[in-house]
Amino acid sequence: MGGPEHRAGILGEEMRPLALVTGASSGIGREIAKLLAKGGYDVALVARREGLLRELADELGAEHGCKAEVIVADLSDMSQVENVKQMVDGVDVLVNNAGFGKWGVLTDQEERSIEEMVDVNIRALTTLTRHYAAKMLGRGKGRILNVASIAAFQPGPGMAAYCATKSYVLSFSRSLHSELKGSGVTVTCLCPGYVDTGFGEVAGMNLRREIKSWSAIPASRVASIGVKAMERGRREVIPGLLNKPVPLFGRILPIRLQLAIVRVVLMVGRPSR
């Protein structure tokens, strides 16, 4: 699938803009892809699970008349990240949603699992952002939406590596938002709290039931908030009233207290010996 500068309209029809969405097979990524297709975009859908991607592509094509390209890729493998860049030359919108986390004390986790998390959450996101931002700058327009987490705003015992990767995404996005200001290219960081997407089950999280019931937000709502913020060129957005004070707590509460609170929320135990 070529970029917007290479794709021609059919029989003189106006060319649709193109959005690339990683982690598009489920959850927030799937909902963002649906919103963009409804908003007039063709979409390139990137994830590991081919069946779910093809199901979504068929749905979007039938409902919105868009072209939906399926790209099966494991973004922890940088050769497959390079393949995405080759398959999709340029885009009008880039959504870096792919990411995962693992719950548990760091020393109890497998080394390869941590490396894969860093590769997906940081390396793939950085590589794709740099590549497509450069092409957007050449055209003088484009939008990038990076999905972080409210975990970016404070340390996270029990999910130390994951929280650190999301802090990177937030800092990276803020810096790029400033670097590209006035260029026609915007960078927005979406920082959701607990979302009912199955992420917690994949991560093996032991999150307190009360926290889930108080703060959970549907993925469709998070996606809508993120897309609207991106369209307005906002630097960052935190969905949910209960989540909005989190950055303030990160600034005013002593680190010792922050660590104690997170340990209670995540029900962190002692390392295995």
Residue 105 is assigned to a structural domain of this protein: yes
List, in order, residues 6 or more apart from 106 with CB less than 8 Å away. 114, 160, 161
- State residue 214's pLDDT score: 53
Provide the domain count of the chain. Answer: 1
Residue 39: burial class (beta carbons within 10 Å; 0-12, 13-18, 19+): middle
- State residue 203's pLDDT score: 43
Q: Which residues of 130-165 are buried (b: 16+ CB within 10 A; e: fewer)?
A: ebbbebbeeeeebbbbbbbbbbbbbebbbbbbbbbb
Q: Residue 155 maps to which CATH number?
A: 3.40.50.720
Alpha helices in 124-241 (DSSP H): 125-139, 160-179, 199-203, 209-215, 219-231
**pLDDT < 50 regions, the chain:** 5-13, 200-205, 208, 210, 212, 269, 273
Whether 162 is catalytic:
yes
* 129 close to 142: Cβ distance less than 8 angstroms: no
List, in order, residues 6 or more apart from 77 with CB less than 8 Å away. 119
What would the two tokens of residue 156 be? 């996270």
Residue 8 is assigned to a structural domain of this protein: no
- State residue 200's pLDDT score: 47
pTM: 0.86
Q: 135 lies in which domain range? A: 14-266
Residue 2 is assigned to a structural domain of this protein: no
pLDDT digits (tens, 9 = 90+) for 6-18: 444 333 346 899 9
The letter for the amino acid at 192 is P
Residue 154 is assigned to a structural domain of this protein: yes
Residue 52 is assigned to a structural domain of this protein: yes
Residue 250 is assigned to a structural domain of this protein: yes
pLDDT digits (tens, 9 = 90+) for 138-181: 999 999 999 999 999 988 888 899 999 999 999 999 999 999 99
Residue 4 is assigned to a structural domain of this protein: no
Q: Among residues 132, 162, 168, 194, which one is catalytic? A: 162
Residue 241 is assigned to a structural domain of this protein: yes
